[in-house]
Amino acid sequence: MALAKQYVKSKPTICKVTFTLPADAVNGAKEVALVGDFNGWDASATSLKKQKDGSYKTTVELPVGQETQFRYLIDGATWLNDEEADKFVTSGVSADENSVVVL
């Protein structure tokens, strides 16, 4: 799992964040979604694209100066946190935690 942050000089209020799940983390999944407060927790809003090496990846523009909660949803059934998240917070819905990226 990996999070890569790229701050945009021409847009100082935006950061491009690339979310990557390695092939071994998705365990042969057919589809992987990035779900979080930035997309209203809509599982169909932000899909990760499968790469040649079997990993999944997507890039999202997020506002600087905020903390964004997110999780991965694998094949519509399995929730997964990102081990490299900046921090974790309780979801408020269950005993599970959400991953957080701090920008």
CB 11 within 8 A of CB 99: no
pLDDT of res. 39: 97
Domain boundaries, the chain: 2-102
pLDDT of res. 92: 78
Q: State the DSSP H helix or E strand holding residue 35, giving kind and residue range, or none if neither.
A: strand 32-36
pLDDT of res. 28: 87
Label residue 77 left, alpha or beta by phi (over 0 means left) and psi (-120 to 50 means alpha).
alpha
* Fold annotation for 2-102: Immunoglobulin-like (2.60.40)
Distance CA 76, CA 43 (A): 8
Q: Mean of the per-residue pLDDT values for the chain?
A: 94
Q: Which tens digits make up the pLDDT trace of 29-77?
A: 999 999 999 999 999 999 999 999 999 999 999 999 999 999 999 999 9
Confidence category of residue 86, pLDDT binned at 50, 70, 90: very high
pLDDT at residue 95 is higher than 80: no
Q: Which residues of 65-74 are buried (b: 16+ CB within 10 A; e: fewer)?
A: eeebbbbbbb
pLDDT at residue 102 is higher than 80: yes
pTM for this prediction: 0.93
Closest CA to 71 of 96, 95, 50, 92: 96
